[in-house]
């Protein structure tokens, strides 16, 4: 079995602070590096040119998929690996990819990899997703979506244990929101996915009422992917919580159960709602359920691991203390400590219970 060759394809703009680290981390993996610059005004292009001769300009047209498809069109190797400039391939994962290059069956069309977006105090991933990260060039897979684009993939997909680490450096801006607003003004027809991600952008910018409106449009249409439906229910609940609309927030969380078994994230949201309303018994019920449901690793590409591990235990500690059950509260604090032993809340609670015993 011959080694596969890999083209690394990236789109960049003003990434002088992160690009070198990204390309250095993946250098041994890529047989070819394709960099598409969409209008940098800093040293991004000079940095890119120090790693590859394949640096191309692309006139920005408010369309991420168009830029990524242009990048893919320049690739010449067997498979295409795509990254963003603030992504890193760790040494461990680089070795896994190098090993994969020697063993990947030629009938594999795409390799799924984890995408670690945040980490806990122990360095373990706390929020991750899954992406089709390495794809066969000859399949001509296409990117779809002018914002929050996705790679449309089919065929033989390999689920790997390889992970890409996201090292976000840039401050969140309103670029994507502005692109969506411009598209709306021009009469652009929004797909179900566009509706969902536009609602996300509104939520991220504190436009809670508008986010609720678009989450509702997305859900009412009934054409969304089930995992996006679940996420939309939870995020709409977050917006309703912000506006103190408690019953609609509860209904939104419960609606997520129409699409699959309960998820820890929405159980914790329900627990939080009842906790804020001082309904501790019902808060305890939902936080307990969060500790009992399985991680949906084979179902969902989006997992907030804290909602299945330490977070509900910390909240159970608080709830049990409020109802006068300090022994049970202490037990849940120690269960949280198994996951996050140095969390400030865990340490504070320990001192609190020690002081109680000393009285």
pLDDT at 113: 95
Q: Residue 233: which residues within 8 A CB-CB, separation 6 or more?
A: 215, 219, 252, 253, 255, 256, 259, 266
d(CA 97, CA 99): 5
b/e code 184-206 from CB counts within 10 Å (16+ = b): eeeeeebbbbbbbbbbbbbbeee
pLDDT at 359: 65
Q: Hey, which residues does 165 pair with through a beta bridge?
A: 88, 116
d(CA 232, CA 228): 6
Q: CA neighbours within 13 Å on the CB side: how many for 242?
A: 16
Is residue 325 helix, strand or coil? coil
Question: What is the token pair recorded at 127?
Answer: 């929020």
- Sign of the C-alpha dihedral, residues 313, 319, 321, 325? negative
In the 8-state DSSP scheme, what is residue 229? H
pLDDT at 212: 97
Q: Hey, which residues does 56 pair with through a beta bridge?
A: 36
CATH topology of domain 6-166: Spore Coat Polysaccharide Biosynthesis Protein SpsA; Chain A (3.90.550)
Contact 312, 290 (CB under 8 A): yes
- Please choose, from the candidates 258, 201, 260, the residue with its C-alpha nearest in 3D space to the C-alpha of residue 235: 201
Listed by start position, the domains of the chain span: 6-166, 175-358
- C-alpha angle with apex 181: 176 to 186, nearest 5 degrees? 125
From the first residue on, what is the mean pLDDT of each consecutive set of 10 residues in the chain (359 residues)?
A: 89 96 94 97 97 97 96 98 96 96 95 87 78 97 94 96 84 83 92 95 95 97 94 97 95 97 97 97 98 85 89 98 96 96 95 85
d(CA 47, CA 15): 9
d(CA 202, CA 230): 18
CATH classification code of 175-358: 1.25.40.10
pLDDT at 303: 84
Question: What is the token pair recorded at 137?
Answer: 């060039």
Is residue 19 helix, strand or coil? helix
Question: What is the token pair recorded at 30?
Answer: 């890529």
Burial class (CB in 10 A: 0-12, 13-18, 19+), 284: buried
Question: What is the token pair recorded at 48?
Answer: 């890119």
pLDDT at 22: 97
Question: What is the token pair recorded at 110?
Answer: 């795409």
Contact 128, 45 (CB under 8 A): no
- Sign of the C-alpha dihedral, residues 268, 270, 273, 274? negative
**How remote is the C-alpha of 101 from its chain's centroid?**
26
Radius of gyration of the chain (CA): 23
pLDDT at 44: 98
Helices of type H across the chain: 19-26, 44-49, 64-73, 91-103, 175-185, 192-204, 208-221, 226-242, 246-255, 264-276, 280-292, 310-322, 326-337, 344-358
pTM: 0.83
Give me the residue label for tokens 């509260």.
Answer: 329
Contact 115, 163 (CB under 8 A): yes
pLDDT at 171: 58
């Amino acid at each position: 079995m011959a080694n596969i060759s890999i083209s690394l394809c990236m789109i960049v703009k003003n990434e002088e602070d992160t690009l070198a680290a990204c390309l250095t981390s993946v250098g041994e993996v890529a047989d070819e590096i394709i960099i598409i610059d969409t209008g940098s005004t800093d040293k991004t292009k000079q940095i890119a040119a120090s790693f590859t001769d394949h640096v191309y300009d692309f006139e920005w047209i408010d369309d991420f998929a168009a830029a990524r498809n242009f990048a893919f069109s320049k690739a010449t190797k067997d498979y295409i690996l795509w990254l963003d400039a603030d992504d890193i391939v760790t040494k461990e994962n680089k070795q896994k990819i190098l090993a994969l290059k020697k063993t990947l069956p030629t009938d594999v069309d795409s390799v799924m990899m984890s995408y670690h977006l945040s980490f806990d105090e122990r360095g373990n991933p706390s929020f991750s997703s899954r992406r089709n990260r390495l794809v066969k060039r000859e399949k001509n897979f296409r990117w779809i979506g002018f914002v929050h684009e996705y790679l449309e993939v089919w065929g033989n997909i390999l689920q790997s244990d390889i992970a890409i680490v996201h090292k976000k450096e840039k401050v969140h801006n309103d670029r994507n929101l502005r692109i969506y607003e411009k598209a709306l003004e021009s009469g652009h027809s929004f797909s179900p996915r566009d509706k969902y991600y536009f609602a996300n952008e509104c939520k991220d910018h504190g436009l809670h009422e508008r986010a609720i409106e678009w989450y509702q449009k997305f859900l009412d249409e009934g054409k969304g992917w089930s995992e996006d439906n679940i996420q939309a229910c939870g995020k709409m609940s977050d917006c309703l919580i912000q506006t103190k609309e408690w019953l609609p927030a509860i209904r939104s969380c419960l609606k997520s159960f129409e699409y699959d078994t309960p998820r820890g994230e929405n159980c914790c949201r329900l627990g939080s709602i009842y906790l804020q309303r001082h309904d501790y018994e019902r808060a305890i019920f939902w936080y307990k359920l969060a500790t009992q449901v399985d991680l949906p690793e084979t179902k969902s590409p989006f997992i907030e691991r804290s909602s299945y591990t330490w977070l509900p235990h910390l909240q159970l500690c608080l709830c049990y203390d409020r109802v006068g059950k300090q022994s049970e509260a202490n037990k849940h604090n120690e269960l949280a400590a198994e996951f996050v032993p140095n969390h400030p809340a865990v340490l504070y609670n320990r001192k609190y219970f020690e002081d109680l015993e000393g009285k």
